[in-house]
Every structure is written in C-alpha cells, then in structure tokens.
Structure 1
Amino acid sequence: MTAVDTADVDQGQTNAAPTRPFSAYEWMIAGRYLRSRRRETFISVIAGFSFVGIMLGVATLVIVMAVMNGFRSELLDKILGINGHMLVQPIDMPLTDYDQVAKRLEGVPEVVSAIPFVEGQALVSGPAGNLGALVRGVHESDLRRIPLISENVRSGTLDGFDAGEGVAVGSRMAQQLGLTTGDNITIISPRGSVTPMGVTPRLKAYPITAIFEIGMSEYDSTFLFMPLEESQAYFNMDTKVTGIEVYVVDPDKVEVMRRALEEAANRPTFITDWRQRNVTFFSALEVERNVMFIILTLIVLVAALNIISGLIMLVKDKGRDIAILRTMGATRGSVMRIFLITGASIGVVGTFAGFVLGLVVCLNIESIRQFVSWLTSTQIFDPTLYFLSKLPAEIDTGETITVLLMSLVLSLLATLYPAWRAARLDPVEALRYE
C-alpha cells in the first residue's frame, strides 16, 4: 500500500459514521465466525471443546455441590432427628425429678419437646451373631414424638410400648442378627448385679415389638429403644435418668436459648448443643465441600483458557478480514466487540447448558445411581460407608447462582485479551502483502 492509500484509509476511518455498540452487523459477523467452514474446521473444533469444557465444568460443580449439600442436610436431619438439638444433663445431684424439669423446659418459647431418657451401651445377640448397641429408654409418648422413629416403623407396632417388655430395634440390627418382629433379642450389659464374686454381667432377653428404619445405616444398626422404667431397672438407675433431649424450632438458634433453658431447669445442669457434640464431623464436611468447590472451579478455568487459545487463532486467521473491516470504517471498538461476542457466546451458552445438564442430573440422581449400579453390577454409594441409604441432592439457589456468575465472568475475561489483540491490528500491516 502507498502512502496515499494509507491516507485514504485513515481519512475513510475518520469520516465513517460511528455505529451503535453491539449493533446488528457486529452480531452478524460474530455469528459467522462461530459457524465453521471447511477452511476453519480446526478453529471451530477448539471452540467446540471450549463449549463442552465449560458445560461439563458447570454441570460438575452444580452436581457435586448439590450432592454435598444434600449429604450434609440428610445427615443433619438424621442426627438431630434422633439425638435432639440440646442435651440437658444433671450436675452434683441425680436427675430424679426429670418429669417436672421436662415440663418446665417445654414451657420455654421455641421448644418443641423435652424427652427424658436413660442410655447405656450393651451387647445384643441373635441367631446370626452379636453386635454392640446403644440402648435408650424412653416413654412411649415421647418415642411417638420423634418422627424419625414413629413414622418409619417398618414392622410391628409401638402400641403398648410402655405396658410390655418389648423393644424397638433398627432394621439393620435385626437383619444382621437374623431377627424379626416377635423374636427375642438378648441384651448383655457389663453393669449387672454385685455378688461376692464381683459384678456379673446382666443378661436378659426381650421380644422385638417394632422394627424401624431411619435411613442412616449407622443408626439403624446401633439404636435399640426400650420402655423407660424397664431401662432404669436394667441399668440399675433406680428413679434416675441420663439426661433430657430438647428439640427446638430452629436448630441454628440453640446458643441464644441456652440461658432460657438453664433458668427453666431451676437446678444445676450442664447443657450441650448439637454443634458441640458433632463439631469435628460437620467441620470436616465443610472443609471437604470448600476444597471440592476450588478444585472443580479449575475445570471451568481450563475451559476458559481454551477460549483464549481458540480466539487468538481466530484473530490470526481473520487478520485480512479485520483489516478490510477497518478500511471500510469499522472502529477498533467495533472489532473488539465482534470478538467479545464470539468468545462470550461460547461461555454463556456453555454455562447455561451446563446448568440445565446439572439440574437434570440432580433431579434424577438416585435413578442414575441405581442404573449405574445395575450396569456395573457394583454397589455405588454403599450405605455402610456413607451412612445414608440413598444418594441425596439438594440444590442451593445462592450457591448455584455463584457458580453461574463465576463461569460467566471467567468466560468474559478470557475473551478480553484476544479481542484487544484484534482491535490493535494495523490494517496497513495486515494488507501489505495481500
């Protein structure tokens, strides 16, 4: 190109009427760059991989975060559903006036129920073997106020629980011991009778009147409930109880309610809440969840880097086209917006496609697990290892929006440098050897 031609080009750019940002022709050219032609197949393949990478990265983040949220929520419901939100234990003197204390605790606002109980460890025996068990004695009326037990009785009944000497056991305990409703289960406790030869273990057989299934394998294989008076006699507790489980409306407000419960008890007590009793477990879950989020974010980041490489190659391939656009009056801002639209389209469409894919998988996560287990003839998400009998998924709206915004921002940032390179291209240099 001669100096006169260069001057004409610059004069043409100076006199060109400015176009509206993100005008129709910018979208039209960006759309043409996204559609592959035979000569540009390699570039379109890179764009396709970028799209798939972002889609799978977002979908993986949505699915994993939903499963971890569901896992935490299910565990929290199961743990708090059977153990209560706060535990009131006696100090200095035995808790013999437990009925009166429980009534006073139930009078505190936001308290749903206060359940006195006797608890002890024992060995349970059946035809198929022996197991360690956590024996808990409660009134029938209180047992019915625990929905996790009363609403999940799979066999037998809780009717007449206080009147008889029967016990309620978890489904996995009954299965592992080879027992069913009506069979006798033998309970052996080291806290037995005192004889001249020392303390002898206490051994007694009880009929199974009910079998419940909480859905948490650890509890279904460990917990055994018996009438409160019978448990007091069995564990030599006389008229005492181990403590009182308090259930509240909002588990997150237990710290605020502590003083009110201490005043309502009207006696020396030691109160612990569910956070203190399970601090290690839930802290580990939270750390694992945060680390997984950081690791999986790298998938989206790698896909965004693919957008950068694809756009840089597109800019080099379209150098002649960019120069012609500039000579026809396109401004640097217009060229930059064309490539911004090209790269951002991959990121935006990939992000929302990943969200839809993740949503579909989360809504059908248990069916997918069962299908994969059937297809591979293996047990995916073994309940004996993961505590829960099914794979949960709970989508958190705020967390999902954060994932989508992060993906969109990374995709947009990935387009800035290639678009800037395209805008900085000198049309004279690009057309010099054409």
Structure 2
Amino acid sequence: MFSPFERLFAWRYLRARRQEGFISVIALFSFLGIALGVAALIIVMSVMNGFRQELTSQILGINGHIAVFGTMGPMDDYDVLRKKIEKLPGITQVAPVVENQAMAIAHGQAMGVQVNGMFLEDLKNRKNVSEKIIAGGMKYYTTPSSILVGARLAEKMGLSIGDKLTIVAPEGTSTAFGTVPRTKTFTVAGIFEVGMYQYDSGFVFVPIETAQKFFQMGEGVSGLEIFTTDPNQKDKFKEEIIPLLHDHRARMFDWQEANSKFFTAVEVERNVMFVILTLIILVASFNVISSLIMLVKDKGRDIAILRTMGASRGMIMRIFFLTGSTLGLVGTTLGSVLALLFCWNIERIRKFIESLSGSNLFNSEIYFLSKLPAKVDTTEVALVIGIALGLTFLASLYPSWRASKLDPVEALRYE
C-alpha cells in the first residue's frame, strides 16, 4: 500500500531536526496524548467491568437468583410451594429463609443487622459464606444459640469466637406492664469474610428454627430463595414459577431487581467515563492535525521539489497520511500495552501506592468491595483501539490532502 519511497520520507518527517524542534514537540505531545487516552479508557472500562462482575458474583453467592416472599406475613405453606418449584427443570436449589432487621449489641456497641435464619445444609450450599469462614466453623452452627457474623461487624464490635452477641427484635413482646423489648443472646460460632462490605458488616446467620421462634413466625418463613442453572435466564424461570404462585400469597423478584441501584450506578458511571475519556483521544487527534499542518507548511519547499521530480499528488498525500497515522498507531499500541499491564497488576499497584502515601485509596465502606477489581474485555479493548485509530486516521486526512494540493510553482516562486 505504501511504497519504500513514501515510508522513507514519512520516517524522516517523524524524526526531530534542530530547525523542526517545535513541530516535533507538538507531535510528541500528540503521541503521548493518544497513548494516555487509550490507556485511561481501557483501564477505566476494565475496572467498571470488574466492579460489575464482583458485585454480581458476591450478590449471587449470598442471595438467590429469584426470591419468593410472602405478602401477608410469614409463608406457612412454604414447603408445598418449595416442592413444586424444585420439580421445574433448571432449578438447582430452593432454600427457605427467615429474614428480618434487628439490633446487635456487644461490648457496649450497637449496630443494625439483617438476621438470616437458614437450615445448615442450605447455608453450606452458599459457598460465599461456608467457604469463606476465617474463624470458627460450620460445625458450631448446630446449636440453637449459635450465630455467624461478618468480619467487618466482628471488627467494629470487637467480637471473636465464643463471645456473646445480643440481638434485639424490632417488635417487642406485649405484657401486663407494657411492651418489653424482645432479646436473645447468641454465641459467635464463626466469622466469615465475603469481600463485600454490605454483607461483611450487616449480615448475621442463625439456625432457622431459632429465627422462627425469635421473630414469632411459628412454623412459617419469610420466603424462598431459588437458585437456577443460569442466573441470566431469570426471566424464563420466572415465567415458569408465576403459575405456581396462584394459590399462595407471595410476590416474586429477581436478583437484578433487588440490587438495581448497584448495577444502575455502575452502568451510568461506566457510560459517562467512556464518553469523557474518548474526548481525551479526540483532543489528541486535533493535536495531530495541528502538528501535520505545521509540518506541511514547513515542508512546502520539499513538497514542491518532490513534485517537480515526478512525485504524484497521491504519493505526497500518502507520505503525510503515513506520518500522522504512525503517531496514532504507535500511540495506541503503547497505550494498550500500558493499560493491559496496569489491569493485570492493579491490586499490586494499589497496595504499592498505599504503602508510599500511607492512605487508603480503596475504602471498602465507600466502594462496597474489599479489593480493586479489573476485568479486561477483549471486545471493548478492540473497540477502544478502533476508535483511537479511526480518529487519528481521520485527523491525518485533511493535512495530507492540503499537502497534495500544494502548487510547486507557488512554493518555489521566492526560493
């Protein structure tokens, strides 16, 4: 496509010479702008993808893909509905749960928590809990007064294995002397660390029989959490479950509806950052235009001589197009390599910067996760590279066209 003659002159124009120093500085900044813009865009998109993936994996590891909860209080006939749903193809588990808000008190501190009552076997199937216990163990969960707490909650309240934790129910017990707060003291049997601040600081698990008695639910439960073979096919499974709910006072929602605020926030921020960082590449492309226009003006005499020696307009245009597109190609390549290296080592880089600055760059209380995630999507990387190359190629066209239209007679008139 490009002859050796055209490549030779394009390469010569890219190299700095003393009288062209200013033009070379502009070209350098154009090159760096493209590289940094591409790197920033790929890194941000990868981090956003990592956020979404981590949130999804943590949420699906704790909560069911579909939830069916009673609309008129506890579900007393949950076992009948459970057996019906378990017969549907693609359903892997249906777990009854008792959920309620309560106050946890220990060592003079009080915090709001969500109490989750579950059978031992169902809790063992929640790998994000059962396989992430950092102290104690599931074997202690069998006693009625045992409780599993999150690592952040244990840290804030100074809890360790064997400590006592008092749970206060939101509804009191009516007596002849008025309403008395309903409390129960539990023994910490295990401490888990999921890696998501919301769960590690606000979730506790107790045996389901204890939760039923404590929240005065009788033999009923709050609802059923349903796990499927593919959480992304939730709508298909919901259509199959809806007919089964006609005889039960229950409502149904899926994991995306229950956590829509998280995913909406990540998606909006991701789209906004994509637009903003694309503008960086666009600005760098304008720098390519300005540097090439200045180069064309500076090389007017050279262009005229080349034209008189037999160079065609197309050859002149290709020389300057190759000069500008090389800036974009090399800048995009460098930016992509830097971005991939950064994403693959992002957690090490974060810890290194934190050790130097002495500050916490990724607070789990703000960002929900305990580590900085990054997931490189090859399709998105290819899209970013295509956008960067497309903008720089387009930016090189006009100056190249101007160079090809230069009149040799006018250029050499005063030489």
User: Match of 1:346?
Assistant: 327
Q: Which of 271, 278, 281 lines up with 1:297 in the alignment? A: 278
Conserved 8 A contact 1:118-1:242: yes
User: Match of 1:208?
Assistant: 188
Conserved 8 A contact 2:98-2:117: yes
What code does the residue aligned with 1:143 have?
L
Q: Which of 186, 197, 201 lines up with 1:221 in the alignment? A: 201
User: Match of 2:388?
Assistant: 407
Give me the whole-angstrom Cα distance separating, in 1, the residues matched to 2:302 and 2:230: 64
Give me the whole-angstrom Cα distance separating, in 1, the residues matched to 2:72 and 2:288: 69
Q: Does 1:39 align with 2:11?
A: no
Give me the whole-angstrom Cα distance separating, in 1, the residues matched to 2:53 and 2:367: 13
Displacement after TM superposition at 1:92 (Å): 5.6
**TM-score, length of structure 2 as denominator length:** 0.97
Displacement after TM superposition at 1:30 (Å): 0.5
User: Match of 2:86?
Assistant: 106
**TM-score, length of structure 1 as denominator length:** 0.92
Give me the whole-angstrom Cα distance separating, in 2, the residues matched to 1:306 and 1:68: 29
What code does the residue aligned with 1:63 have?
I
Give me the whole-angstrom Cα distance separating, in 2, the residues matched to 1:110 and 1:348: 48
Give me the whole-angstrom Cα distance separating, in 2, the residues matched to 1:80 and 1:430: 70
Give me the whole-angstrom Cα distance separating, in 1, the residues matched to 2:163 and 2:261: 38
Displacement after TM superposition at 1:175 (Å): 0.9
User: Match of 1:237?
Assistant: 217
Partner SS for 1:159: helix
Conserved 8 A contact 2:145-2:185: no
What code does the residue aligned with 1:36 have?
A
Could you list the runs of 5+ residues in structure 2 that have no partner in the other structure?
none
User: Match of 2:295?
Assistant: 314
186 and 243 in structure 1: CA distance in 2 versus 1, 3 angstrom threshold: same
Residue identity (%): 50
User: Match of 1:433?
Assistant: 414
User: Match of 1:11?
Assistant: none
- Judge which range, 207-216 or 253-262, deviates more: 253-262
User: Match of 1:185?
Assistant: 165
Partner SS for 1:161: helix
Give me the whole-angstrom Cα distance separating, in 2, the residues matched to 1:415 and 1:294: 22
Displacement after TM superposition at 1:264 (Å): 4.6
User: Match of 2:156?
Assistant: 176
What code does the residue aligned with 1:47 have?
A
Q: How do 1:239-318 and structure 2 match up within 5 A?
A: 239-264=219-244, 267-268=247-248, 269-318=250-299
Displacement after TM superposition at 1:182 (Å): 0.8
Q: Does 1:134 align with 2:110?
A: no
Q: Which of 110, 122, 131 lines up with 2:102 in the alignment? A: 122
User: Match of 2:42?
Assistant: 62
Q: Does 1:368 align with 2:349?
A: yes
Partner SS for 1:136: strand
Give me the whole-angstrom Cα distance separating, in 2, the residues matched to 1:150 and 1:92: 32
1:47-83 C-alpha deviation (Å, 9 max, x unpaired): 1111111000000000011111111211122122212
Q: Which of 60, 65, 80 lines up with 1:80 in the alignment? A: 60
Conserved 8 A contact 2:61-2:127: yes
Partner SS for 2:112: strand
User: Match of 1:48?
Assistant: 28
Give me the whole-angstrom Cα distance separating, in 2, the residues matched to 1:302 and 1:248: 48
What code does the residue aligned with 1:76 have?
T
Displacement after TM superposition at 1:285 (Å): 1.9
- Judge which range, 162-171 or 257-266, deviates more: 257-266
Could you list the runs of 5+ residues in structure 1 that have no partner in the other structure?
1-20
Conserved 8 A contact 2:140-2:189: no
1:107-130 C-alpha deviation (Å, 9 max, x unpaired): 222222111000111110111511
Partner SS for 1:121: strand
- Judge which range, 159-168 or 33-42, deviates more: 159-168
Partner SS for 1:394: coil
Q: Flag the structure with larger Rg.
A: 1
User: Match of 1:327?
Assistant: 308
Give me the whole-angstrom Cα distance separating, in 2, the residues matched to 1:137 and 1:40: 75
Partner SS for 1:226: strand
Give me the whole-angstrom Cα distance separating, in 1, the residues matched to 2:246 and 2:207: 27
Conserved 8 A contact 2:320-2:396: yes
What code does the residue aligned with 1:274 have?
W
Give me the whole-angstrom Cα distance separating, in 2, the residues matched to 1:99 and 1:161: 23
Conserved 8 A contact 2:144-2:209: no
Conserved 8 A contact 1:190-1:200: no
What code does the residue aligned with 1:387 have?
F
